Amino acid sequence: MNTIPILLWLQKLIIGVLVLILLETSCARIIRESAPTPLPVIPAWQLLLDAKPFPKDWDADPCNPERCLRETYAARVFGIVGVPGHVIQNVFRLDNIEAAKAKFRTYREVDFRPRQPPNHQFLPPPEITYHSLLADEYYLGCGVDEVPACRAIFRYSNYFVYFYFDIDGGKGDGLKIREVEPILRAMDERAAAVLGLRLRAEPTKTP
């Protein structure tokens, strides 16, 4: 019996099987690598700060479940009882990254737009050099909208965070501008802890 044709057939069969295994492995790797990373679904309220990064005597308002314990939106107000001037924090968890980018873009265009005197456009202040080392998008501006104030916006993946800071105009009715930076740092630290994010090597700057 001539075994050469059989051997050739077996050789082709083995080669075919190996090719199929390689193709299956390659396809599985491509699918795995191209599959989108699931977005975090941590409740928005977990990104709310407490009063620790604020100056002495500043407190966080008691948490109203309807306002600050929601899954996709949460808010908190900080201040000193009986003293004008406050800080507001809003946190949004969006359905996807594009929606979070759109919200960031809207706030960036509206809240930091040019203003007519005696008001002043909200621009990055020279007194604060901190830039987020964690957020995908970040912007801080200080100006005047009837009263001196600062605003900061952060985007962490599909989360958007907004801060409004009343700034002391000389009457003790808000934060001193140098007291804003520890709060910005605390926000990044909170996001890192809650969302499991890593600090970037270079700061994020939004033009």
Please report the pLDDT score of residue 197 as a whole number. Answer: 83
C-alpha span between 8 and 88 (Å, rounded): 77
- % of the chain exceeding 90 in pLDDT: 60
Half-sphere exposure of 53 (CA within 13 A, CB side): 17
Query: Which residues form the domain of 137?
Result: 44-195
Please name every residue paired with 78 in a beta bridge, in sequence order, or none if there are none: 60, 87
CATH of the domain at 54: 3.40.1000
Which pLDDT tens digit goes with each residue over 46-99? 999 999 999 999 999 876 666 667 789 999 999 998 888 899 999 999 999 999
Q: Which residues contact 7 (CB under 8 A, 6 or more apart)?
A: none
Residue 30 confidence class, pLDDT cut points 50, 70, 90: very low
Same domain, yes or no, for 111 and 147?
yes
Look at residue 128 and tell me if it is in a domain.
yes
Same domain, yes or no, for 30 and 48?
no
Same domain, yes or no, for 106 and 19?
no
CA dihedral (28, 29, 31, 37) positive or negative: positive
Look at residue 153 and tell me if it is in a domain.
yes
Same domain, yes or no, for 63 and 22?
no
Same domain, yes or no, for 136 and 115?
yes
Pull the structure tokens for residue 70.
């929601």
Look at residue 6 and tell me if it is in a domain.
yes
C-alpha span between 183 and 191 (Å, rounded): 12
In DSSP notation, 82-104 reads TSS-EEEEEEEE-SSHHHHHHHH
Look at residue 179 and tell me if it is in a domain.
yes
Look at residue 169 and tell me if it is in a domain.
yes
Look at residue 103 and tell me if it is in a domain.
yes
Which pLDDT tens digit goes with each residue over 120-131? 999 999 999 999
Look at residue 143 and tell me if it is in a domain.
yes
Look at residue 205 and tell me if it is in a domain.
no
Same domain, yes or no, for 30 and 70?
no
Same domain, yes or no, for 121 and 158?
yes
Same domain, yes or no, for 20 and 68?
no
Query: Of the given ranges (7-16, 111-120, 138-147, 170-179), which has the lowest mean pLDDT?
Result: 7-16
The domain total for the chain is: 2
Please report the pLDDT score of residue 186 as a whole number. Answer: 96
Which pLDDT tens digit goes with each residue over 119-167? 999 999 999 999 998 999 999 999 999 899 999 999 999 999 999 999 9
Same domain, yes or no, for 77 and 158?
yes
